[in-house]
Structure 1
Amino acid sequence: MATEAFEDIAETFEFLDDWEDRYRHVIELGKAMPPMEEALKVPATKVEGCASQVWIMPAISDGRFDFHGDSDAMIVRGLIAVLHALYAGVPVQQIGRIDAPAELARLGLDEHLSSQRSNGLRAMVERIRLLAADAG
């Protein structure tokens, strides 16, 4: 049930044999993401449970989920970009049906992230699910 944008990332990962190349690609995805406005980086948008500073602000329009996100760590910014590809444009009521761990496992992220980063990624997914549930 992945979006086309997420499928594009998954296809790119299939061509990148080395985890270091995949890691660099995730960082590049983060660099390509537009920065979040400083005014949105407030306690209400901060994601708890992340080692890095992470902010996620929902942007729901016409019943479709989207969000702005940012982090002070480049790899985490890239992970936010991956999550954006997974969730952006999906109808709000379908967000909870996305099996994020399974989709992210397709990228091998679960095998190569530190336990702190994995916990942070789970916290971001949970925050997105809660934001969508509140909006739905």
Structure 2
Amino acid sequence: MTIKEKQDEIVSEFAFLEDWEQKYEYIIDLGKQLPPLSEEVKTDANLIKGCQSKVWIDSEFKDGKLFFVADSDGILPKGIVSLLVSIYSGHSTDEILKSDFDFISEIGLQEFLSPSRANGLMAMTKQIKFYAVAYQLKS
């Protein structure tokens, strides 16, 4: 499945949810499905700057694709980072760099979040793009 197809699927899933309480619960459920990171990965180098909660994203480049793992100490940020990992993990750096984050506004996520959480979301998306650039430069 392409990144765009995954994004479209998320937009469709959110369209079925009637209000923000249901959307909030959906995001929290996504976070509960995210496997916890080992303490060795929860380093300052993997910590996303600008998030209200602690959020860690790590990556691995394997067979031409970038794979992400993530965690957070907050239930909502954990769900949000889980959503991003599910969309972008397992794709090439080129695919990730050519993709956009328009689905975030399509599902209304930024409007739902407090300004500090919205800043954290943007920091997460920038980190994913940063990893893609870094691995693209290495290859």
Which 5+ residue runs of structure 1 have no aligned equivalent? none
Cα RMSD over matched residues?
Answer: 1.4
Corresponding position of 1:50? 51
Cα 1:3–1:84 change in 2 (3 A) is farther
Corresponding position of 1:115? 115
SS in 1 for 2:11: helix
Q: 2-side partners of 1:18 and 1:40: how far apart?
A: 35
Q: 2-side partners of 1:108 and 1:80: how far apart?
A: 16
TM-score (norm 2): 0.90
What do the CA deviations read for 1:15-44 (whole angstroms, capped 9, x no partner)?
101111001000000001111111100111
Q: CA deviation at 1:3?
A: 4.6
Runs of 4+ in 1 over 6 A off after TM superposition: none
Q: CA deviation at 1:103?
A: 1.6
Map 1:77-116 → 2, pairs under 5 A: 77-100=78-101, 102-116=102-116
TM-score (norm 1): 0.92
Q: CA deviation at 1:85?
A: 2.1
Which 5+ residue runs of structure 2 have no aligned equivalent? none
**Paired residues, what number?**
135
What do the CA deviations read for 1:82-127 (whole angstroms, capped 9, x no partner)?
1112211221122121111x12112110211110010000001111
Map 1:1-136 → 2, pairs under 5 A: 2-100=3-101, 102-136=102-136
Q: CA deviation at 1:52?
A: 0.7
Q: CA deviation at 1:8?
A: 3.1
Letter aligned with residue 72 of structure 1: D
Q: 2-side partners of 1:9 and 1:81: how far apart?
A: 12
Q: CA deviation at 1:2?
A: 3.1
Cα 1:84–1:35 change in 2 (3 A) is same
Letter aligned with residue 57 of structure 1: D
